[in-house]
Structure 1
């Protein structure tokens, strides 16, 4: 999620510095617009073929069925999700199309870049599409990948000036706020046009439990069948959009191709990008790693499901108004509004707004059971969002909504999470909904105004009782632990937090694991950041 945290300007008190800063900001505002984009022939996805191993595997999973269904498997555990990407990259023979909001300049991001480079050198066509918000200081690295004959790197809605430093990027951001405030939040990975991975994970350490500071609990789906060409066509729409630029058009360098390749080789060496230990045994679902499944494809049974991919238009980045019925948020709300019995929403950021509260009220009037799992204040990486969610908490509880907040302290009372997280914090990042225990909605979209109005998002709708049951089991949603259950206090005006991680089930009357000073500071900041920016 875009972090709207302003840089410190305490040094600008002196008039001369203020004048210089103002002049620099005006300069950036005047030249921050994108350069003209010459029309280019569109590049399209390579369709699945039995000539590739992954194409044959996908055909085997679908058994040449003509029922319109796809084959899917959930990727709940981070180590299995990362390993699945390595397997697809190493087995790819025709193409790799990767789209993400954030690619970390860390051991995970560097290792994934190296695998993409290796695939390109094997003759695989590689297309890497990045949102440009988190690429500060990475231009030379990305140019090194793009220097390979079979690899292309493109940037969505890019910054134009002062690209190497975050601080100067912030000046450009505010100088061209109306444009740069729109970001591409999509996450998609397609191999040989035959298999795809979609969900909430960015490509950085903290999304695969490889960070020592804080890690995210997330969810993805690996897919084969008709949903994959749907996703691939969406990728093509973005790749060929006029808000996407080849990195060579944006990031200049005097280095030649060989120098860039050499620098890439050094930056992505095992010293900087050590590979993780391969996952052992089976995951929570009892599934072997993807490589083992592909090696024994004739005996592996994936879930068969009606699955469809959808996304916002890339022109959302230009402030273009998407027809209300076509936005991903509108499709999500339409699906949840059709619920007959229950809706379970898992989202790291949850701001229902007035429209969302009206939908909740209508659903509860029809007897629909609604449960929401989100981050606690102490464990949100966007605490300002949490403050705005708090404004709706009492009203939701009065309507009978079940509210749960994820807490590191509660999670670590579970031995499995304690082992996975070690000393790091644990935060929720999965974005999914289960409707009537029959439909699963997943992807990159948070349930907040930023996802609905500003960022572009990608999602998949799956009709599968089997997948729904698997997720209820994996996340223990029928008997949830590792969270605080939020309830109304007897006065009906305030809330309490009841622990679920041990037999004591502690009861708290204030935000868990957060200080009064922190809460006051966030409340003050929330007055100055509009809700529609969160």
Structure 2
């Protein structure tokens, strides 16, 4: 019966998608990043950093959404030579269309624009992307693309399950490099909900502005992906009979101020007392933290489903760094599934006295409830091992006036991916601590050695006394859990999963039986 259903599904998928297959890779000239040059404003700023400590990069945290979007737009607008942009999700919304419009404008003033997208979330974007690619100097490529059924979500899913072993591997990296000089890396995708512009749910995220040696490292990683065999030029998979002029006219309307308005100006100062990036660029003076920083990424060939001898994944690097912690490890991950091996590492670390804190989403506020259900199976074991466990909650966050004004009626969700080690090291990027990031998707990350940065993040996120969360603790019997609220005097104690119904929990538990944990 199961094989019959699978056969029927495959037949329907083939009919819907035309049994499409990817074209064979054709001859392609390898392209390289344009290095920082004193001929550009951003290049002069980056090259002036050589006067600082040898080998050190310059970093600046971007925890607030309005400042992160402002920084990205300012870099795009001020670029004079090149823009390399890599992301997992570009929204077909006001933020995604605004970014495309700004990239289009950059291409028109002579900037070389390279946009690399994972193809999973590009439904409805083929035509605006083709319009951008029609500009001289702009090119769009897709990572591990869908060959057919591109126009609709339903046919995409049919294609996905008919070619599951290939399409289940996605590029989760996020990176922007402007003029080979200044870069942004972290967890934010390019869509409304990552910049507090959604009315439904918004993500709390983190990025790092970077200059110095870590930028050419990041640019080389971008080039490795851009020239990879698992990346295809947009025109090879998204075709149209319309002329470039028709596409450009359509895009002009879709990305107009009415559909893609500019964001409100950010506040005068960020959480660290710094003005928006644009103001500092206008003065030609930027305040940085100087630190050792290195960029790493999975090989794009991870998407082929095999691991050649010698391939080291980003997850392996990050776990090795965390295992070297001496006194304190703080892990911030929206999706957290330690697995049996992870639990072994955690117990060993606790046995040698390491204080471990894990901050993740509550069930009520996660956008991936099946991941949360799987995490729940480890919750008691984590607490029994002595891990401090905190779950982010919209209800708890909105007890703080600042967060209540920021979120308004929207839900708040954690999306930042960070590890802080011994107040000395920071690991950040696109990688979640779950099997999907470790085994299936490609990821990008930056490792920074800086007491100043770790202290700043402790301050920004109140990590020494976190609010806006439920503190999870063992129940009186030592086998169940309780949730303790924060942010008010009552600090209520709950015996049931906060802000979720028994029916919801039961439905998710049943669904979780059919989804292997290594797919989460």
From 56, 60, 64, give the equivalent of 1:73.
Answer: 60
Task: Call closer, same or farther: CA 1:133–1:193 in 2, change over 3 Å.
Answer: same
- The answer to whether residue 388 in structure 2 is matched with residue 413 in structure 1 is no
Distance 2:433 2:112 in 1: 35
Distance 2:481 2:335 in 1: 19
| CA-atom RMSD in angstroms | 1.7
- What is aligned with 2:331? 345
Task: Call closer, same or farther: CA 1:377–1:18 in 2, change over 3 Å.
Answer: closer
Shift of 1:21: 5.3
Distance 2:272 2:102 in 1: 27
Q: TM-score, normalised by structure 2?
A: 0.97
From 140, 145, 161, give the equivalent of 1:158.
Answer: 145
User: Per-residue CA shift, 1:258-297, capped at 9, x if unaligned?
Assistant: 1111111111001110111111210111111001122233
- The answer to whether residue 23 in structure 2 is matched with residue 39 in structure 1 is no
- What is aligned with 1:509? 495
Distance 2:308 2:267 in 1: 45
Distance 1:19 1:495 in 2: 44
- The answer to whether residue 39 in structure 2 is matched with residue 51 in structure 1 is yes
- What is aligned with 1:170? 157
Preserved contact between residue 184 and residue 457 of structure 1 (Cα < 8 Å): yes
- What is aligned with 2:223? 236
Secondary structure at 1:387 match in 2: helix
Distance 2:235 2:492 in 1: 56
User: Per-residue CA shift, 1:377-404, capped at 9, x if unaligned?
Assistant: 0000000000000111111101110000
Structure 1 residues 92-111: aligned runs within 5 Å: 92-111=79-98
Preserved contact between residue 114 and residue 139 of structure 2 (Cα < 8 Å): yes
- What is aligned with 2:71? 84
Distance 2:31 2:478 in 1: 58
- What is aligned with 2:291? 305
From 514, 517, 520, give the equivalent of 1:528.
Answer: 514
Secondary structure at 1:130 match in 2: strand
Preserved contact between residue 155 and residue 244 of structure 1 (Cα < 8 Å): yes
Preserved contact between residue 89 and residue 190 of structure 2 (Cα < 8 Å): yes
Structure 1 residues 259-270: aligned runs within 5 Å: 259-270=246-257
Shift of 1:29: 8.7
- What is aligned with 2:193? 206
Preserved contact between residue 302 and residue 441 of structure 2 (Cα < 8 Å): yes
- What is aligned with 1:223? 210
Secondary structure at 1:186 match in 2: coil
Secondary structure at 1:31 match in 2: coil
Distance 1:280 1:408 in 2: 23
Deviates more, 1:246-255 or 1:322-331: 322-331
Distance 2:199 2:260 in 1: 15
Preserved contact between residue 112 and residue 137 of structure 2 (Cα < 8 Å): yes
Distance 1:342 1:362 in 2: 14
Distance 1:290 1:146 in 2: 28
Q: How many residues align?
A: 518
Q: Gapped runs of 5+ residues in structure 1?
A: 1-16
User: Per-residue CA shift, 1:201-243, capped at 9, x if unaligned?
Assistant: 0000000000000000000000000000000000000000001
Distance 2:445 2:489 in 1: 38
Distance 1:403 1:334 in 2: 22
Q: TM-score, normalised by structure 1?
A: 0.95
- What is aligned with 2:240? 253
